[in-house]
Amino acid sequence: MAQIPLSLLTTIDPVVRETAIFALLVDSPRTVVLRHDIHAAEGHLRRAVITQDGTVEDERHDLEHACLSCAVREDALPTLRRLATDGRWDDIVLALPVSADSLPVSIALDAATHPGSELDMVRLATVATAVDVDEAEEDLLGIDSVAERGIGLTEDDERAVGEVLAGHLAHADLVVTASSGSTHRGLSARCGDELVDHLRAPDSRRIDGLHELSAHRLTCAEHDALAAQRRCNPLHAHAHSWESAHAWSLELRSDRPMHPERLLDRIEELGTGRVRSRGVFWLPNRPDTVCQWDGAGGQLYLGQLGVWERQAPHTRLVFTGVARGERARLRAVFDDVLLTDAELADGGAVWLGREDVLAPWLGERSEAG
């Protein structure tokens, strides 16, 4: 028996999500949508099952926690199995809560669709995201948090809207653009349109207009979970090499480590502002540690990804933005925080016993560095 295609849909806008669902169902009587919402303040998960005939289920379930991956395991998997074995549906779409990250959900679903697993009658077809290009510049580069927008998954969800949308674009197999018809269409809309192309996965598909979204465009593909995880990994942050009229990407790379103290002194210049930045770096006092860099919406996350293992340590950051003067400025700051020839010449002895000024962000150093 052929497996039933299952697709994921992500958005940062509830109106865009509902419009996308309508577009999918209007000409597809044998498509069913499972839509989830997490209402953290009320402490419940809302599940709706929607068909061309309307909403056929609308239930609320108490949550002991607001963990999306746990919610998928506890509610979505048995519901998806029930829908897949119902016999009425040719394909299923799981519409995630607004602002939810598709990566952990897709990992859980990929595992559940292996032979002998709970959803082995299903295949993961497409991870899709729908984005309003009129609002994309402000969504990606502005300073709003999801909590300020009222789309947080928890009461204290302080993720930047830009972080969420950039993550959707990086992970999606299919990007569907919408237009809200905002009054500020024009340059901002053109910038948003080009930013979407700079930040989406290089092997993703794009269709313009929610009216072009159909079940066939989702079911004709097959999601490659390993490839999708790789393109979301900061070690493999993609930088478009082509130039566009209103948006740009800049790749800054060096085999040299960053100077911890100069980096801390200039971190706001390099890591905040109206840019999206991703990548990895290394430090002379942590020579074996892969340090993660992830910036969006005026926020910057630094963390540890593990150790370099077979890879030579390197520093590589990819920036995307729209302001033309930013590239030269970013390159100058980047060059300044790298170790100089003289600093490299001492072999790292200067860092022995020296205060680790980045420990509050990276955690304490291990013995391995």
H-type alpha helices, the chain: 14-25, 68-71, 77-84, 102-112, 133-141, 146-149, 161-171, 187-199, 215-219, 225-232, 260-265, 267-271, 326-337, 341-345, 359-362
Domains of the chain are 4-232 (3.40.50.300), 248-362 (3.30.1220.10)
CA dist 101 and 123 (Å) reads 20
pLDDT tens digits, 96-108: 999 999 999 999 9
CA dist 181 and 15 (Å) reads 13
DSSP string, 51-76: ETTEEEEEEEEE-SS--HHHHIIIII
pLDDT tens digits, 199-241: 999 999 999 999 999 999 999 999 999 999 999 999 999 988 7
Nearest of 117, 33, 115, 42 to residue 79 by alpha carbon: 33
- Crossing angle of the two packed helices 161-171 and 187-199, in degrees rounded to 10: 50
pLDDT at 115: 95
CA dist 210 and 225 (Å) reads 25
CA dist 188 and 321 (Å) reads 12
Q: Contact at 8 Å (CB) between 220 and 164?
A: no
Q: Tell me, letter by letter, the H, E, C secondary structure of 328-367.
A: HHHHHHHHHHECCHHHHHCCCHHHCCCCCCCHHHHCCCCC
pLDDT at 346: 79
Strand, helix or coil for residue 252: strand
pLDDT in tens, the chain (369 residues): 689 999 999 999 999 999 999 999 999 999 999 999 988 778 888 999 999 999 999 999 887 665 766 777 788 999 999 999 999 999 999 999 999 999 999 999 999 999 999 999 999 999 999 999 999 999 999 999 999 999 998 888 899 999 999 999 999 999 999 987 655 567 778 899 999 999 999 999 999 999 999 999 999 999 999 999 999 999 999 988 777 889 999 999 999 999 999 999 999 999 989 999 999 999 999 999 999 999 999 899 999 999 998 899 999 999 999 988 899 999 999 999 999 999 998 777 788 778 999 999 998 876 555
Question: Phi/psi at 314 (nearest 5 deg)?
Answer: -155, 165
Q: Report residue 8 CA to chain centroid gap.
A: 14
- Cα dihedral across residues 63, 69, 70, 75: positive or negative: positive
